[in-house]
Structure 1
């Protein structure tokens, strides 16, 4: 007796037939009337609010159009963008350094970086801005020289730390504490085996971080960094407390003279929305750029899974 399996044809029985074309089951998608009703209600409420806001004569849209491109407003917008770029540059660079020190095997460096994060995340940003602005009250002169020895060079603190410098220091150092935790989370997401393999190939810790770990961690670091940049753009409005002429401070200076608070605040909202929209577009393309490798890896993984693991080689 042969060990081959007996098929339906060999057994004399006819194979089972599928349903006829006319008897096939036709899938009907589920209907969700509640979704359409909810959407219609929300759209109606949105249109009602926008129409009421746009048609309100007290908004004084003529005043909005008059000051939308006013030189003082555009100068304030330029200062806002400059503060955002400078603060994020300090925040990203400082955050990478603090995160690396936080993960250091040296306990002193790790604790010092943890102390930095604790201080700058635990105190309000407005307090930090005021602290840097009034630093000359406790340190009237900043000198450079030998500690407890002769001073080679010194400068007046008020001349060194101006309003703009105090704003950049306050915003940048505060942002570095948050960026340090974002970078640390991204570095922790990379498998430890990557570093071990790099060390086995003779790479130093610095080379491993720069060539292996950091490029992979960027996929997780980029999205929250974009959110922090958008948040920083809006957070710059806090520097009005130290009289830096950014966008909101310029707007306040105008409506303190003509008493048109709401129309001028609408001007500020328009420019903030324009700037954040540009940052949103940049963040989208940057995230897509760093996600390219994920698509290739997924395709390769699917091709490997398509191979039957129990397939025996033919003789």
Structure 2
């Protein structure tokens, strides 16, 4: 198995997402989206917004917060969004680590019923847009914003908001301080205690490659079974952490939205995790074994992920509201 350098992997990932996004939404819709993309790049406004087919509105600064997939495909296409719709209960508690401009928090707040979202984001620029999106989507009553970074330690550190703010991260020690801001750093264990969150239904972690550090700062909570579902950005450095989390009673899956099936990953080498995804995915889903049965009973099948699990050509599923949402 050959693994590629970071720029090559990003190019391949973008090409894969474009290819599968076209298959999900259809060629005509994708072409219309590409026209929107080109028009936006040509106009180069300071800020813009996109109205998604699911009904959410996302504002963003241009070009630093520009979300190409939402512009081209016009909706949420990643499988974890379908998964959450399919299993969602009521009165869930959701933690969004790396909230950025709020696409995940806004989805959860507008799709799930009676949900409470705790959104963590250190970048001042992102937080400003996140708050605007919360207001635009009328979800201020259920989304709380915490401007701080999550890691494996309590600290005060410099945070770099990159030109592409989706790739922003804590600055390495000794790095040039220009273009950075001082942020509070906490562990997820400490924040769950501080917020009196004794049970979390969904924990999403997407922090531009710093997922291992965030997971290290959450291990006490995971060991105690305080989190039922995790949605984790894939990354080679995270693989040993997946194995450690599995030893705490969690099972790892990819979700096939058309088949409504979870495909279980049981080995955590790079080939087993990355090479046999049944549906294009940037995130892996971890579920506490004790919670799995009640989550999927009568709704979702569970099957092993094998080398013969072949990706299937997608057909468009409407996102809509969850069954629990009542509309």
TM-score tier after normalising by the smaller chain length: under 0.3
From the CA coordinates, give the structure whose radius of gyration is larger: 1
More helix by share: 1
What TM-score results when the alignment is normalised by the length of structure 2? 0.22
TM-score when normalising by structure 1: 0.23
Which fold has the larger relative contact order, with Cα–Cα distance below 8 Å and residues 6 or more apart in sequence? Answer: 1
- Return the structure number with greater strand share: 2
